[in-house]
Chain A
Amino acid sequence: MARIELRGISHTYAGGTPALKPLEMVWEDGGSYALLGPSGCGKTTLLNIISGLLRPTVGAVLIDGKDVTRAPPEERNIAQVFQFPVVYDTMTVFDNLAFPLRNRRVPEGEIRKRVEQIGELLEMSHQLGRRARGLSADELQKISLGRGLVRKDVAAILFDEPLTVIDPHAKWLLRRKLKQIHQATPVTLVYVTHDQVEALTLADRVVVMNEGSVVQQGSPEDLFERPAHTFVGHFIGSPGMNFLPCTVEEDAAVVGAHRVPLDANVCAKARVAKGPLVLGVRPEFLRRVEPESRGAIRTTVSHVEELGTHVIASASYSGGADEQDPKELKVKLPEGTKVRAGETLWLELPLSRTTLYADGQAVSGDAAVRAESHG
C-alpha cells in the first residue's frame, strides 16, 4: 500500500550537532524493514521524520510518490507503536481499537466489524469488553499495534523498540504475532531497534545506522555474511567480527609473518585505498587446520570460554607491523572441543568468508556489490 522514499534527508536539532547525515532510501510497499543501531545513532530521529512528528532540516519524504514532508502525522496514513505501551486506559479494549476510526468518522457498524476482525487477528476477541487498564505489557502493546491495523487506509506501521517492556521469555510469542500479522496484511512495517535479534528476525531488509548515517542496508544474510562496514561486522553477531590489521602485497594480505591469499581485484583496489587496512573474519568462520598450512596464521590460545552450545577461544597472534605487539582474535569452536590455554592453534581465513576493509569500508572486488550496499 505504500512506498516510502526519503530524498536527501538530513536533520540537525536546534543548536546542536547533526543527528542525521544526508541519506537516500526507498522502502517498497509491503516490505518489512528495520533500522538497527546503538542508542544515539539517529534511528529514532529518522523514524520521527517518517511519521511526521519531526520535520527534517533538509530533504523530502515521499509516500507513494506524494511529497508529505510538511504534512502532519494524521495526514500521512502512518501508525506508530511506541517503546512503552500507549493505551487510553480509561477506555475498553474495543474503544481503544475503535478510537482511530471514530476520529475519522467511520460508520459505527463498520467500526464494529473492523474491530472484531482485528481483535481476532490479535487473539484478543475475548478481551474486547475489558478495560485496558490492568492488562499485561504484551497485551497493551498488541492494542497499540491494533490501533494501527484497524485503519484500512494505513500505509505503514512504525515500531519504536516495541518489545522493550516485554518479558524476555515471552518475546518470541509477540515476534511470532508480528510476523503472522505481516503475512496476513499487506502493510509496510518499519522497526526501530538496538536489538539485533529483533531487527534480523522481523525485517526482510535491515538498515544499520551509526553516528547519524546509514552504514549498510541489506538482508539479514548480507549483514552477517558480507558486512560492508567494520561497524556492521562488530555490531551484528556475538561475538562480533575479528579485525586483523594487515598490509597488502601482491594478491595477499600480510598479517604479521603470514600471508593470507585474497582476490586479486580486491588487492588491486586496496593498494590505492586510503586509510588503515584490516582483514575481517567472523569467529565462526575461522577454520582449524594443520600446523604450517598455507595461508593459515599461527595463534596461541590465551583463554577458553565453555558456553555449553559452543566454545569460544581467545587466541593471540603476532600481527601488524610490530612483531612484538600481540593481537587477539576469537574463534568459535563446536561444543565439547578440548582446547587449553597455551595451546597453539593454526587458523585459516576462508577466502569466501574474509573481507578486507579500508578505513572501515569493505573493499570489494565486485563493483556491483559495493554500489548495492550503499543503497
Chain B
Amino acid sequence: MKGSRFLAPLYLFASFVPIYWLVCMSFKTNEEILGKFTFFPTSPTLDNYSTIFTDSSWSQSYLNSITYVTINTVLSVLVALPAAYAFSRYRFLGDKHLFFWLLTNRMSPPAVFLLPFFQLYSSIGLFDTPWAVALAHTLFTVPLAVWILEGFMSGIPREIDETAYLDGYSFARFFVRIFLPLVRSGVGVTAFFCFMFSWVELLLARTLTSVDAKPIAVTMTRTVSAAGMDWGVLAAAGVLTLIPGAIVIGFVRNYIAKGFALGRV
C-alpha cells in the first residue's frame, strides 16, 4: 500500500483541474479564450474582474446573496438550538414523528415548492426581498441544523444540566451561560452547513427574486446571456462565487470531520 499516499493528492489534483480552468479563463481575454488554446493566460488581465467591480449590479447582487445567506444562517441556528436541545434531552409526545417530518423537508425536491413559494411570498409582500429567500431556505436548513446540533448536544452529559438546575439556574440562563459554550463547535459547524446550503442553492433564490434582491449567481447567468457569451467575465464571476465558500471552510476546517459525524438520529 506504499502507493496509496499518492492517491489522495491525485484525486485532489484531478478534482481541482476544472476549477483551475475557470480561474485560468478569468484572467484571459476573450480573444485568447476563443483564439489559440493555452494552459496559462499568456497575457494575464484583470479586465474581467474590473468589469464586474465597476458594474454596480454585480456588487449589489453579491451583497444580496450575502444578506439572505446570513439571515438564513442566523435564523436557522436560533430556532434549531432549543429544538435540538429538546430532542437530545427529552422524550415527548410525537418526538420521533416530528423529527422524521423535519427530515423529510430536507429531502423534498425544491422544484415542488417553486410555484407555491412564489405565490406565498408574493401574497405577503416579501417577494424580491432577501427575507423571502432566507425563509424559503429554512425549509432545508432548519431540519439539517436540528439534526447536526442534536448530535453535538447528545455528546454533552446530561448531569451538567441537572447540576445547573439543582444549583438554581433558570433554563435560559443555563442555556446561555453554561450550555452554549459547550456546543460552540457544534454551532459553528451547523452555521457552516446552513451557509453552504443557502449559498449554493439557486432554484428557489432565482424564483423568489426579480430585481432588488437578485443573488449573484443569477446576475451572473443573466449578464452573460445578455452580453452574448462573454466567457472571461463569466469565469471571473464564477471565481468570485467560490471565494466566500473557501473562506468559510477555512474557518471550520478542524470541525468538518466532526460535523460530518452526524451518524446518529
Q: A and B touching (C-beta < 8 Å)?
A: no
Binding site for A on B (CB under 8 A): none
